[in-house]
């Protein structure tokens, strides 16, 4: 996600979500099925993997990565207070930070344990994406109420959303046609 994509979403009245902080590029396993460990040094990560997130640190919403960054912690970033410090202070993200889906196999323990670990680490919102009611209830109970910082971040994120900008559809169609060499005459 680049600046133009972020600005385009915001102009269209959509809040973009920056994913998956602090980086998924070096992961060699699918977090839906396994827990990847990135072994790059802190200096390497800061210079390359974390840099794009820092450039977009003002995006209102972000999602964590269920990845271990061994240079920092043995826990996945979603459940690591150390990685939350990296995201909040080194990367500079102060927006609303949500977990990736807590049902993914990268995380261990019950859904309540996963949720509690993510919230204790510093995530603002716990995501459960499977749609099973008793699981959703377990996650909601473990997540607890939003604290003042989460409420502040949520309010700031919602304030970033506005009605879509007015656009000239005929002009956009003409620009599109010119770019791809077609006509809708």
Q: Hunting for tokens 């959303």 — which residue is that?
A: 161
Q: HSE-up of 183 (CA within 13 Å, CB side)? A: 1
- Residue partners of 89: CB distance under 8 A and separation at least 6: none
Question: Quick check: is 9 catalytic?
Answer: no
Question: Quick check: is 100 catalytic?
Answer: yes
Give the separation between CA 66 and CA 173, rounded to whole angstroms: 41
Instruction: Pick the catalytic residue from 49, 66, 73, 100.
Output: 100
Instruction: Pick the catalytic residue from 7, 32, 58, 176.
Output: 32
Give the separation between CA 131 and CA 91, rounded to whole angstroms: 32
Q: Which long-range contacts (CB under 8 A, 24 or more apart) does 118-121 make?
A: 118/64, 118/78, 118/79, 119/143, 119/144, 120/79, 120/81, 121/75, 121/78, 121/79, 121/80, 121/81, 121/83, 121/84
- Catalytic residue ranges: 32, 100
């Amino acid at each position: 996600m680049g600046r133009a994509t972020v600005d385009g979403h915001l102009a269209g009245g959509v809040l973009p979500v920056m994913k998956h902080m602090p980086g998924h590029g070096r992961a060699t396993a699918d977090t839906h099925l396994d827990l990847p460990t990135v072994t790059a040094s802190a200096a390497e990560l800061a210079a390359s993997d974390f840099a794009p997130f820092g450039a977009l640190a003002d995006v209102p919403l972000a999602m964590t990565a269920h990845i271990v960054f061994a240079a920092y912690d043995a826990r996945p970033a979603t459940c690591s207070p150390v990685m939350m410090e990296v995201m909040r202070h080194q990367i500079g993200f102060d927006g609303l930070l949500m977990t990736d889906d807590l049902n993914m196999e990268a995380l261990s323990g019950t859904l309540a344990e996963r949720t509690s670990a993510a919230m204790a680490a510093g995530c603002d919102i716990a995501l459960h994406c499977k749609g099973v009611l008793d699981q959703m209830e377990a996650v909601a109970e473990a997540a607890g109420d939003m604290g003042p910082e989460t409420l502040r971040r949520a309010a700031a994120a919602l304030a970033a959303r506005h009605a879509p900008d007015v656009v000239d559809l005929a002009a956009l169609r003409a620009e599109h046609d010119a770019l791809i060499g077609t006509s809708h005459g």
